[in-house]
Amino acid sequence: MNAELQACGLDVGSTTAKIVAIDRAGRMRWWHLEPAEPRVEEQVARLIDLAGTAGVDLQTAPLVATGYGRNLVAGAARTVTEITCHARGIRQEFPGGGVLVDIGGQDSKVIHISPQGAVVDFAMNDKCAAGTGRFLENTAARLGVALEDLGRLTLSSSDEVPITSTCTVFAESEVISLLAKGVRLEPILRGVHRSLVRRLVAMIRGIGAASPLLLSGGVAQNQAVAQLLSEEMGRPVQVSAHPQLVGAYGAALTALEMRPSRA
Ligand code: ADP
């Protein structure tokens, strides 16, 4: 066992599952991320075993679970909402509050965090795929573009073709028919990203824009999203260093705060 690993956070997302172990000072020491599986309980049990193999002593290191599947985590000392965990995780990296925009695979959230780290207000979109990573995933798959290349290709063109459909399914058809008409891929991608970003901007404005603007979630790895969001909002956007792990990290920090030695 590795005595340095003092607490664990597990984020069971709709698209990916992430587990993080931290040391006494709250530093991330070990993590693992993989695609979400339909048999959540089995996956969770395997991830917990994996943490054990990595040296986490789960008898002494508490585990906090978050994410949509958090209630299926047997062995969690506590379950905590994604909003609370994301706010806690991002505060460690960017103390002083702001507005966190988290874009995951099937939902997006905007969280207003006070300078003291409290959640002031939040908005969540889990109804419409067009404002989530799923929209970009589907578009990339349709166009035969790797997810990792989306951002670079999008930013490689300053031309943009607007996408007028508001629903993912219709937007995908629109993209295909634009390609069939001979429109270049890059300006279409720029239009697709603009459409996603405008949805986020509407959510941010609904919450009330507080500075700084912070970005997390798997989609934060797409540099075009950060750049277009910054353009639309007219201010800089700061991207988390481990954007997909913010929720799991926040869960681990919450677990660390539960340890009796720190009470
Ligand atoms: P959740 O927490 O909801 O399960 P994540 O925060 O893990 O979701 O984000 C998953 C999304 O991240 C995917 O839908 C995909 O769009 C996006 N994504 C994952 N990896 C990359 C990458 N390398 N580049 C761009 N986008 C990515």
Dump pLDDT digits (tens) for 12-65.
Answer: 999 999 999 999 999 999 999 999 999 999 999 999 999 999 999 988 999 999
CA–centroid distance, 1 to ligand 1, in Å, is: 31
CA–centroid distance, 218 to ligand 1, in Å, is: 3
pLDDT tens readout for residues 171-219 = 888 989 999 999 999 999 999 999 999 999 999 999 986 789 999 999 9
User: In this structure, are 218 and 178 located in the same domain?
Assistant: yes
CA–centroid distance, 18 to ligand 1, in Å, is: 12
Using a 6 Å CB cutoff, which residues line ligand 1?
13-16, 36, 104-107, 133-134, 136-137, 147-148, 150, 217-219, 221-222, 244
Please check whether residue 128 lies inside any domain of the structure.
Answer: yes
> From CA 188, how far away is CA 194, in angstroms rounded?
10
User: In this structure, are 103 and 132 located in the same domain?
Assistant: yes
CA–centroid distance, 103 to ligand 1, in Å, is: 8
Judge contact between 68 and 40, C-beta under 8 A: no
Domain count, the chain: 2
> With 80 as the cut, is the pLDDT of residue 95 above it?
yes
User: In this structure, are 99 and 123 located in the same domain?
Assistant: yes
Write b or e for each residue in 116-141: b if 16 or more Cβ atoms lie within 10 A of its Cβ, otherwise e: eeebbebeebeeebbbbbbbbbbbbe
Helix or strand or coil: residue 10? strand
Residue of 47, 4, 11 whose CA lies nearest to 26: 4
User: In this structure, are 233 and 251 located in the same domain?
Assistant: no
Confidence (pLDDT) at 191: 94
Predicted TM-score (pTM) of this structure? 0.95
> With 60 as the cut, is the pLDDT of residue 262 above it?
no
Please check whether residue 2 lies inside any domain of the structure.
Answer: no
Mutate to test the pocket of ligand 1, among 43, 219, 227 (most ligand atoms within 8 A of CB): 219
What is the radius of gyration, based on Cα positions, of the chain?
A: 19
Q: What is the chain's mean pLDDT, rounded? A: 93
User: In this structure, are 149 and 211 located in the same domain?
Assistant: yes
Query: Which domain covers residue 65, as residue numbers?
Result: 7-81+245-257
User: In this structure, are 105 and 232 located in the same domain?
Assistant: yes
User: In this structure, are 72 and 125 located in the same domain?
Assistant: no
DSSP secondary structure, 85-103, as one string: HHHHHHHHHSTT-EEEEEE
pLDDT tens readout for residues 216-243 = 999 999 999 999 999 999 999 999 999 9
